[in-house]
Chains A and B, each alone.
Chain A
């Protein structure tokens, strides 16, 4: 007897429909799974056998062959336990239902028949809808995540018995729904705010510019100057996430298993802060069982590399291409997959080895040469992706005590939103969305300078000893500053301010 049950697999961050074909025939009692299944999938045999038996059902003592189709895609994970079990039960006619075509089943089984949550539910639910499924039967703990997908009937289940009762028409499962609008409205708030940061107007302004043009930045400041504090708040001034963005971010987090249970959507921009001892794979993704790395977890959010000089050269090297492409490509035996990685890079570094170089209240014990070398090490490919350099001074005690009202994130975000809108409009049809993505070939058109501006820039290069690589970055950042001001033309003051954000190109740092 043959049965077919629908389930879902994952490639990259997308789900694809998958059929579990079960054939039960007379012969030696063997249980075989074919169709490029990995070890975790193969282990499902033991779980399925025990789960069926322990639910008071019959496990056939015959030859069982399971094919996961399409057979040429590698299958991973434990989410096929439930469809495999249901395939066996259907093939042995313990389940009698003529409309299984409309159902997709996902879930891991425990030995007693309980159904446990799995990773990657959101992309699977999206695929189910796309493929015309009507029902998605899935672990109860994943219900919130799947319910975000409108147009699909979500049927959460706790154990295999509930599924059988439902399919045999003995006890209907309840459909699960949530109000997305309500959810989205309430959850887009952050618990932290720029208003918590006292003073530091220069840092705030620089980050506003960065946020407005999606420019990568680096902050240089002594320990305790508040770099981590402001970094965490960068997402709060980025434009609010759209529903589509939230879906995509949630997909990635879902696949990586980073989505807390009972969460339907990641509604705030992610902030990822990997430690400098992180492996290359964890940073950009990949591995034997491919998973998104930190850079993809920071998709549509902020990737914060604290203590940048402490990261290995290799780690920084692997970041380069993804930062450029907004995407990580991983090649596999039979396919290549990709994870999105549109993130804003924010780095922090001490000014020197001992950290005190910029702190007037402490003594720097480094020699001038050591000071130069410390940040000098950073030069190169990664620094070439960074548009804005911010020097963070330690805030004086009296300023920390100040009760002056600081500007709220929401107020800053309003200006950021306005500037971003101008960019979206301007770059319509060009497949870029912000000034930071401007390609050299587009500069002539979008960063046109009049004679005065050109003169200023030339003058600056001659007098301030800026390095040549600063040129295009200054242009892009000037474009953003002009956009914040809603000025069509780039003016001298915009260029001058942009020059201010190139500290590391100055002779006194770069040596």
Chain B
């Protein structure tokens, strides 16, 4: 029997997974890069995004596409607001102290999780895909929605890149990332930059959550996997490096897809964990980051 169709299928699945992972990991990486904050609650922003997408899908009448689009707008706005509040209420007050932010984002993780449990209950919630068109290949049919995920993710990454590299706001963010004190010496409101970065990071995770619910059920504990995988990606790609994060997401997503299809998902997890260990030992600045190559 021919192996090519399996390879194609596994590659597609890997790319879909890589796309969502890329969004989530970029959020984590941006927050760490600019603010030096390790956001342990990042996966919960993903989970809240997914649950909001579910709620929009179920409670908004009309075809599934309407609920999906509304979810795609409402979820990042709500989660961005939540992150803005968390930054104001907690992170600012502990002055972004590195150990303090780890402990307090662990606290946020449990608070958000319990709120989600109280609001949505413990059940896994499924949502219809916004459209069902199936793309036919000679060997198998493939959901066009999954390809749509890839397109949306690429568009968002391009938008993020444009914002960071070509806009004034992005320039101020990069200056703040590079040297906070000198940024202040040139009038940059570092605290506002931090709030915005934390919110944008959370919004990226929320969009990842929205995109994932039609494939994977929403559930109050679903934030753990994306958090761990994002950490893997961010460490392999180089902390705070955006091109590195993108490359690592594709690498991890693809290897995960291929290994899961041909062997087992467990082996895929073992391999990515090993990769992290190897990178940490031999190239702690990340596989894809040259010296000081930060975005």
Please say whether chains A and B are actual partners in one complex.
no
